[in-house]
């Protein structure tokens, strides 16, 4: 029996049928003996074998029809118990009818006695059949969860129906290596109770449980990870060294069964995500449905997500513009696979090439533009100011000017929190681009185009960002490089950021800078520690953290974008409008023309000095350009952002 239970071998159905018939015959015989007070001489003279054989035949037929023998005993449940009761009851009823109509006249015995036998037999037979299944199920549970030392012991978060389904799925899988030792919950009505032979533990006493029992992993449904209670529980597990795994909700299981490949390690993105943002899809649909939409930087992290979300609103055409050939090719394949009915035009171009971009606008006539193309890495642009100016300033000016020339209805620019009181060349190039975009509402040539700027912080998992870098460093065995022990950043998921971009695009009337609620700042050191523990490793013992010093142009703390003194609310709680000054279009154009002229000379000092004239609040930090800042002190409130 052990080899069947331990190696998930299935006992043949005919063996289960024979075992059930044996139990039925034994229980009937015992009931018969009990009613006759074990007077064997009288029993044998009273047609015992005829009545016993008849009952066994009837019971066997009923159980076969009701398929009592077809279920796997180790996975018996309440439904199986009810089928056993039903089969025993039906067998008893049929037996009494047949006995009273045909058997008693030929082989007479006391009718009262046979009725008493059947009452006793009903209890004994059903009890023994259920006990068999309970015993096998318990033995299977014990052997598979306690006698195999190689099993990974797991807890399941929650004790509702979903949690029970996860437990059953893990135990029924032939390939699983998990032993479920309990549930954890914060519901006082369930704590210390048992569900399917395992206990429900108090999540607040998890540390004591670890002292008593070896706990390797916690399994949690990956939906509703934004709930504060679950986040607190996960934080506690990570701090205690328990690896957290996620599984999709049961309605996403393949063919109704949990596939082991669907069990994933908890990602730091899951831990940092917040409650889903509610957006007005009706307004966005009215804005985009049937329109020709251009996305620059379409192959990038933000751009590709904009493409995916825009396509869901049924535009007549989406123009995917980027200079990165291979990523653009990958995006094209995804679009063709997921949105075969939408026209998607691939356009390889550099936004700095005005002639090439003119060709795009001439051929495609976009009605809505999402401008996401930019250089974004602070140290890279700090070391190469000319390239940052060409892409982030000239490239933006090219696309914006063409939007005006071709009468585009709406132009949405993707900016960054690093444009607020910038300390880097990259942040300043984005701020200059913002200023130009804002000034276009005062351009005499602009008759139709509404220019809107959206500004937010770091997005989780974007190309080259801290999280993918930490993952790669962990895979290599460390160390994890952090620039400063106290450095903090704001984070938002890519889908969340793009949701808000689309929403802001619908509410903009032109000239605004919309800023997004980024939540609470995250300490990068804490992020590194959590990622190490999520990988099942111990900080400093398995993976070390190395502090390398702030990089050129890098701030220790990013500015708060939703400061009530500098923002105005909108109808969406997570979107606010920045209070900004109005700019003279002619003056802005003059400044940018001078900047671009200096840029052609490749004199980095002259270029950055001009940028500081255009954006007086630009104070360089950890950079070679600090010498331009009047000994590092300048009035930071020259004008208000």
Which residues are known to be catalytic? 418
Are 575 and 505 contacting, i.e. CB atoms less than 8 angstroms apart? no
CA distance 587 to 608: 18
Query: CA nearest 318: which of 347, 288, 292?
Result: 292
Are 303 and 373 contacting, i.e. CB atoms less than 8 angstroms apart? yes
Taken in order 583, 586, 589, 594, is the CA torsion positive or negative?
negative
CA distance 407 to 138: 74
CA distance 405 to 550: 43
How many Cα atoms occupy the beta-carbon half-sphere of 4 within 13 Å? 11
Query: CA nearest 251: which of 166, 144, 349, 341?
Result: 166
One DSSP character per residue, 549-566 reads -PPTT--SSPPPTT-TTT
Are 221 and 247 contacting, i.e. CB atoms less than 8 angstroms apart? yes
Query: CA nearest 247: which of 224, 218, 220, 273?
Result: 220
Are 472 and 431 contacting, i.e. CB atoms less than 8 angstroms apart? no
Query: CA nearest 9: which of 167, 144, 178, 168?
Result: 144
Cα–Cα distances in angstroms (integers) from residue 530 to residues 269, 524, 629, in the given order: 11, 10, 38
Taken in order 495, 501, 502, 503, is the CA torsion positive or negative?
positive
Q: Tell me how far the alpha carbon of residue 68 is from its chain's centroid.
A: 41
CA distance 19 to 25: 10
Query: CA nearest 298: which of 366, 355, 362, 363?
Result: 366
CA distance 127 to 129: 6
Burial class for 541, CB neighbours closer than 10 Å (0-12, 13-18, 19+): exposed
620: left (phi > 0), else alpha (psi -120 to 50), else beta?
beta
CA distance 440 to 450: 9
Are 302 and 370 contacting, i.e. CB atoms less than 8 angstroms apart? no
């Amino acid at each position: 029996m052990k080899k069947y239970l331990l190696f998930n071998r299935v006992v043949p159905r005919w063996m289960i049928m024979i075992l059930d018939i044996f139990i039925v015959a034994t229980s009937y015989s015992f009931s018969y003996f009990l009613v006759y007070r074990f007077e064997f001489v009288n029993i044998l003279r009273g047609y015992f074998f005829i009545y016993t054989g008849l009952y066994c035949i009837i019971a066997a037929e009923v159980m076969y029809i009701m398929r009592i023998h077809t279920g796997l005993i180790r996975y018996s449940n309440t439904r199986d118990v009810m089928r056993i009761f039903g089969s025993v009851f039906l067998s008893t009823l049929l037996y009494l009818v047949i006995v009273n109509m045909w058997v008693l006249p030929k082989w007479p015995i006391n009718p009262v006695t046979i009725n008493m036998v059947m009452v006793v037999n009903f209890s004994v037979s059903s009890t023994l059949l259920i006990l068999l299944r309970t015993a096998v199920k318990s033995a299977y549970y014990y052997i598979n969860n306690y006698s195999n030392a190689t099993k990974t012991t797991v807890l399941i978060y929650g004790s509702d129906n979903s949690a029970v389904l996860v437990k059953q799925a893990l135990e029924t899988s032939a390939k699983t290596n998990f032993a479920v030792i309990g549930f954890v919950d914060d519901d006082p009505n369930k704590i210390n109770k048992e569900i399917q032979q395992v206990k429900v533990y108090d999540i607040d006493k998890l540390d004591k449980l670890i002292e008593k029992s070896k706990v390797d992993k916690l399994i949690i449904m990956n939906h509703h990870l934004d709930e504060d209670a679950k986040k607190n529980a996960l934080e506690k597990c990570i701090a205690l060294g328990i690896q957290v795994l996620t599984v999709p909700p049961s309605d996403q299981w393949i063919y109704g069964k949990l596939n082991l490949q669907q069990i994933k390690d908890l990602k730091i993105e899951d831990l940092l995500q917040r409650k889903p943002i509610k957006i007005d899809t009706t307004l966005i649909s009215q804005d985009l449905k049937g329109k020709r939409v251009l996305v620059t930087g379409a192959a990038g992290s933000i751009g590709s997500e904009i493409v995916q979300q825009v396509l869901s609103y049924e535009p007549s055409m989406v123009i995917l513009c980027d200079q990165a050939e291979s990523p653009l090719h990958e995006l094209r394949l995804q679009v063709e696979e997921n949105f075969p009915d939408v026209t998607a035009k691939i356009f390889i171009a550099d936004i700095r090439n005005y002639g090439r971009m003119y060709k795009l606008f001439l051929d495609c006539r976009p009605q809505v533009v999402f401008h996401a193309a930019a250089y974004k890495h602070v140290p890279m642009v700090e070391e190469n100011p000319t390239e940052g100016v060409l892409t982030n300033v000239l490239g933006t000016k090219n696309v914006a000017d063409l939007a005006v020339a071709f009468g585009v209805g709406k132009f949405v620019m993707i900016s960054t929190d690093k444009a607020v009181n910038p300390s880097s060349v990259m942040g300043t190039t984005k701020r200059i681009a913002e200023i130009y975009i804002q000034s276009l509402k005062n351009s005499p040539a602009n008759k139709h185009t509404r220019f809107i700027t959206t500004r937010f912080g770091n997005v989780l998992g974007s190309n080259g960002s801290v999280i993918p870098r930490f993952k790669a460093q962990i895979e290599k065995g460390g160390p994890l490089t952090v620039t400063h022990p106290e450095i903090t950043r704001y984070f938002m998921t890519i889908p969340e950021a793009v949701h808000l971009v689309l929403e802001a695009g619908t509410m903009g009337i032109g000239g605004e800078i919309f800023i997004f609620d980024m939540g609470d700042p995250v300490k990068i050191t804490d992020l590194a520690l959590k990622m190490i523990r999520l990988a099942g490793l111990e900080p400093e013992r398995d993976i070390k953290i190395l502090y390398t010093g702030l990089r050129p142009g890098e701030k220790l703390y990013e500015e708060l974008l939703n400061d009530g003194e500098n923002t105005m609310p909108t109808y969406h709680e997570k979107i606010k409008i920045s209070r900004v000054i109005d700019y003279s279009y002619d003056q802005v154009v003059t400044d940018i023309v001078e900047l671009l002229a200096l840029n052609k000379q490749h004199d980095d000092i002259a270029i950055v000095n001009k940028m500081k004239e255009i954006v007086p609040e630009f104070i360089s930090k950890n950079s070679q350009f600090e010498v331009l800042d009047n000994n590092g002190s300048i009035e930071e409130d020259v004008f208000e952002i």
